Structure 1
Amino acid sequence: MELGLNEKVAIITGSSKGIGYYTAMQLVKEGVNVVLCARGEKQLQVAADYIKNETGKEVLIVPTDITKEKDCQRLIEQTITHYGRLDIVVNNAGTASANPFESVSSELWQADLDLKVFGAIHCTKYAIPHMRKVGGGAIVNVTAVMAKTPPASSLPTTVSRAAGLALTKAMSKDLGKDNIRVNAVCIGLIRSDQIEKKWKKEASQLSWEEYSQQVGQTIPLGRVGDTQEAANVITFLVSEAASYVTGTTVNIDGGAGHAL
């Protein structure tokens, strides 16, 4: 399948590791010029070096705190200065913060919304004019399956992630006329640093495959998802293969979600 991504330019937030990093690697392999951004410059450089070693292609790194609007604006400006265009934004940056309602401080509410909601808003806001100049673009907001069916003690994450879903749908309606597609992915149990640390601490005698199956017993596909599997779906959504897909949400959860 031809994805039509060669020579396009993509920004991926939170791309020094995890889903963001794997998505960056996959897009580079498809011929995309990629901008990595996260707060830590050292980890960004490590990620950039890995990508170059694997693909032979250099990426641009821009240390960015997306909770600050001026940083988001600078991220877009440096991308345009370096590559001259912008086609794709993957709003991936975020952390898991799950607590009972009464234990969440006002400061934690604000920090979570600044990172997961306003970070996406500001990055997208400054990207849109440049997407219009090249005739369109693709935006993917990375959220969580729990946003659709929030369990107890899941705050503030589920609220900010649910806001991301509403943002996705509303933006898709506004930007469709500009050929800018906006979609979201809802992440379930995917291999991460946190899960790997738990595996090595609690069940190091098991192989990853054995541990994945043990942890994933309640998941219809019977295992923890691989990070690459999430990256593959995001790559499809930003590609020309998904040219008639906008305003939708794709669960990457092995069938675990309870909502349509």
Structure 2
Amino acid sequence: MDFGLQDTVVLVVDSHLAIATATATALAKEGAILSLTAPDNYRMRHVEMALARKHIPQDRFRAVIADLDREQDIHRLVRATLHRQGNIGVMVTTVQDQGNSPASELEDEQIEPALARNFMSAVHLTREVLPHMRRYGMGRIINLVPFSAMEVSPRNTLSSLSLAPVLAYFKGLASELAPNNITVNNVIYAGVDSDEIEDRARSQDYQSTDDVADEQACAEAKLEEISEAPMKRMGTPKEIGDIVCMIASAQASYLTGANIIVDGGIHHNYA
């Protein structure tokens, strides 16, 4: 199927994260022109190498180093993308789990940075991009969101309180922007072999003191995920990227305000 993404300018935020890198690759394979971000040159170099291994020509993407905790960096990122590539037709954001702390032990010093990193950075990015999408007459905003946005457990309270406002904000925005032919959707994932799995493995639930122990902890965390999955396997970042291509496509022009759950059937709730 032709998704109609040839030469569409796509801003992929935090493209050093595994799911975002795979999404960028999938979009580039569909002919999109990419604007990629990472917080430093080291991690951006890894993204560029990953795209090169997938035979994505270097002239199909541009890199911008940006710290999304800084509003001025977000402004510079969008300005640089528009200067180099003319417009932004699709924006893909990635928000992350924020560590493990019991709700009763959360301090302001933990809550405020988590809200700033997940919720406020998404708001600031959207504010910068929307005027250009409105002027262009259409657009796609797609957010990659861990399942902790929808489900609270004792070990992910901090993630949930920083991610749930993201869903509320973009649900309201979807209705507001529908008359402008701008769609807003969330891909909510669980059981995917992603950075969050490894980060959680190295957290307080899986204490380790060296690299070998870290690798063992990651392997144990992934086995735990697999044991809970009806498919008896984890999802791959590429599978998320392929779904993003579909949502960004011309064929998905009537899809907006949706929380699209991609979890291999792990969760059994109706909605």
- Could you tell me the TM-score, scaled by structure 1's length? 0.90
Which stretch of structure 1 is more off in the superposition, 126-135 or 216-225? 216-225
The one of 159, 162, 178 equivalent to 1:176 is 178
CA 1:136/1:100 → structure 2, altered by over 3 Å: closer, same or farther?
Answer: same
Equivalent position SS for 1:78: helix
Are 2:17 and 1:7 aligned? no
CA distance in 1 between partners of 2:49 and 2:218 (Å): 31
CA distance in 2 between partners of 1:171 and 1:110 (Å): 23
**Aligned residue in 2 for 1:162:** 164
CA 1:214/1:70 → structure 2, altered by over 3 Å: closer, same or farther?
Answer: closer
**Aligned residue in 2 for 1:149:** 151
Deviations 1:223-245 (A, max 9, x none): 21111111111221111121110
CA distance in 1 between partners of 2:226 and 2:51 (Å): 30
The one of 54, 63, 67 equivalent to 1:61 is 63
1:63 to partner: Cα distance? 1.0
CA distance in 2 between partners of 1:48 and 1:134 (Å): 29
Give the aligned CA root-mean-square deviation in angstroms: 2.2
CA 1:193/1:141 → structure 2, altered by over 3 Å: closer, same or farther?
Answer: closer
2:112 partner letter: Q
Would you identify which runs of 4 or more consecutive aligned residues in structure 1 move more than 6 Å? none
The aligned runs of 1:1-260 (5 Å cut-off) are 1-53=1-53, 54-58=55-59, 59-193=61-195, 195=197, 200-202=215-217, 215-259=225-269, 260=271
CA 1:28/1:216 → structure 2, altered by over 3 Å: closer, same or farther?
Answer: same
Question: How many equivalent residue pairs?
Answer: 255
Equivalent position SS for 1:3: coil
CA 1:99/1:80 → structure 2, altered by over 3 Å: closer, same or farther?
Answer: same
Which structure 2 segments of 5+ residues have no match?
Answer: 202-213
CA distance in 1 between partners of 2:223 and 2:157 (Å): 28
- Could you tell me the TM-score, scaled by structure 2's length? 0.87
CA 1:100/1:202 → structure 2, altered by over 3 Å: closer, same or farther?
Answer: closer
Equivalent position SS for 2:145: strand
**Aligned residue in 1 for 2:207:** none
CA distance in 2 between partners of 1:93 and 1:47 (Å): 18
1:195 to partner: Cα distance? 4.1
CA 1:154/1:212 → structure 2, altered by over 3 Å: closer, same or farther?
Answer: closer
Are the aligned partners of 1:28 and 1:57 in contact in 2 as well (CA < 8 Å)? no
CA distance in 2 between partners of 1:7 and 1:212 (Å): 37
Equivalent position SS for 1:255: coil
1:111 partner letter: P
Are the aligned partners of 1:168 and 1:182 in contact in 2 as well (CA < 8 Å)? yes
Equivalent position SS for 2:65: coil
Identity %: 26
CA distance in 1 between partners of 2:32 and 2:217 (Å): 39
1:49 to partner: Cα distance? 3.3
